[in-house]
Amino acid sequence: MHDEENNLQLTDEQLKAILESSYDGIYITDGEGRFLNINTRLLEIAGYKREELIGTRAQDLVKRGIIDKSVIEMVIEKKERFTIKQTLKGKTVKEIMVTATPILDERGNIKYIVANVRDMTELIFLENKCKKIQSLSEQYYLELIKERGYSGKIISESEEMKRIMQLAYRVAQVDSNVLLEGESGTGKEVIARFIHEMSPRHKAPFISINCAGIPDSLLDAELFGYEEGAFTGARKGGKVGLIELADGGTLFLDELNSFPINLQGKLLRVLETFEITRLGAERSKKVNFRLIASSNKELKQLVEKGLFREDLYYRINTIPIVLPPLRERKKDIIPLTLHYLKYFNEKYHCRKELSISTFKYFEAYNWPGNVRELRNVVERLVVTTENDVITEKDLPAELINSFNDDKFQIVIKEIVPLKELIEEAESKLIKMAMDKFKSTREAAKALKISQTSVVRKYKKLSKKLKV
């Protein structure tokens, strides 16, 4: 009898260890839905204490408004496994995914119900990861993972960024000059590093030069180097220039639009001959590098204004890649937000979460500073918020105001007849509603018009799209 008790105690300890080792929230109920056991992870997700739930019927949580529907009721009724999405009201409102499985006795009655719970925020990470795995059929991803790997992190969920990544990978295999153009903060240096690391030159140096960050008076010496005694104050033994340091590798000229026009001819000469002459030197030296340049202004416009040499522009602009601003690749906003949230949580040893209600503000904001601004906002929220759950009240005013003021996000690029504009807006709205709800009745309810009108307008739209 004593041995049996020891075995039973050992089994209880093993069960507890198994429950606590799970990353998912887990709870066990009896056949009537009363909580018998709950692991710590579920308490973290739910925001409740163990004593508040043990002995409570899961079905009663619906009556108390803690969850919107009960998967336990469904299991008890059908005696089958069910997976549903629930809205949970704990410290904050969360979307959770619950899978409940009945355990039957020898008579076919429910003895226990075991449920797994996962925070939908975690599912978003998994969904993004699955989408990325599915896209591995593209050769550049196969190379990225199987051959050298990539030390950086590029979020490319939107079709716009996927196309850019495909082009960047193809470009990496050759030595053609590349010009990256786009607003500040769009990630031009990240793409430049990606091209370098995916290229045959990946083991050689990647030399990045911020042309706007070096005074014009020093840029000549920094780029091209100098010999000892070349000028007053010159370093003993001279100095190797940054271009020379890129020999064998990649030279990245960031913010080339700030490159002084008096040095542009000298740079053009290097790109044409791949020879460099240090200040004060009598002989030139051969250099072998691949050039990638970036600009946050359209160089073509600077050429037209006489602020940039036309011959240098055409020498650099062999393969142009234009990076879209974040507001034009909305699908990347939430994955980027979650990526930086995870990054800064690890950096500052925090466990901050974003409430689901905050995501709509991130998506609605236009992000004039692009990815750099988004990164800064997330870091600020992680560092300055007191609670572990970041809510709407913690967000910067510009995000809140943008959501309130820019509900429709209408962009009109040219003057058109008013009737034509209204018809176009109506067509897009009808299509958006049908794509979301897949039902004319639900679409009509959301648009607050009759179902007959939706049927008629959608039928007309379908004919138009087929033409």
- Per-residue pLDDT tens for 293-344? 999 999 999 999 999 999 999 999 999 999 999 988 988 999 899 999 999 9
pLDDT band at residue 150 under the 50/70/90 scheme: very low
Q: Is the pLDDT of residue 355 over 70?
A: yes
Tell me, what's the pLDDT at 126?
63
Residue that has been written with the tokens 């089994």 in this structure = 11
390's enclosing H/E stretch is: strand 389-390
| Mean pLDDT within 37-64 | 86
**By C-alpha distance, which of 36, 45, 38, 82 is closest to 67?**
45
pLDDT band at residue 8 under the 50/70/90 scheme: very low
C-alpha 433, offset from chain centre: 26
What are the backbone angles phi and psi of residue 194, rounded to the nearest 5°?
-60, -45
pLDDT band at residue 180 under the 50/70/90 scheme: very high
Tell me, what's the pLDDT at 206?
96
- Structurally, at CATH architecture level, domain 329-405 sits in Orthogonal Bundle (1.10)
- Per-residue pLDDT tens for 358-389? 988 998 898 999 999 999 999 999 999 999 99
- Per-residue pLDDT tens for 196-250? 999 999 999 999 999 999 998 889 888 998 887 777 777 787 889 899 999 999 9
Q: 2-119, what's its fold?
A: Beta-Lactamase (3.30.450)
Residue bearing the bigger pLDDT, 402 or 324:
324
| Mean pLDDT within 166-179 | 93
303's enclosing H/E stretch is: helix 299-304
DSSP character for 90? S
Q: So where are the chain's domains?
A: 2-119, 138-324, 329-405, 418-466
Distance CA 164, CA 180 (A): 11
Tell me, what's the pLDDT at 121?
65
pLDDT band at residue 467 under the 50/70/90 scheme: very low
Assign 59 to helix, strand or coil: coil
Residue bearing the bigger pLDDT, 86 or 230:
86
pLDDT > 70: percent of the chain: 87
Side-chain half-sphere of 225: how many Cα atoms within 13 Å? 23
What are the backbone angles phi and psi of residue 130, rounded to the nearest 5°?
-65, -40
Mean pLDDT of the chain: 84
Tell me, what's the pLDDT at 427?
85
Distance CA 102, CA 88 (A): 22
CATH superfamily of 138-324: P-loop containing nucleotide triphosphate hydrolases (3.40.50.300)
Tell me, what's the pLDDT at 415?
79
Tell me, what's the pLDDT at 276?
92
Tell me, what's the pLDDT at 249?
96
Tell me, what's the pLDDT at 141?
46
Tell me, what's the pLDDT at 236?
81
For residue 98, which amino acid is it?
V
Tell me, what's the pLDDT at 159?
85
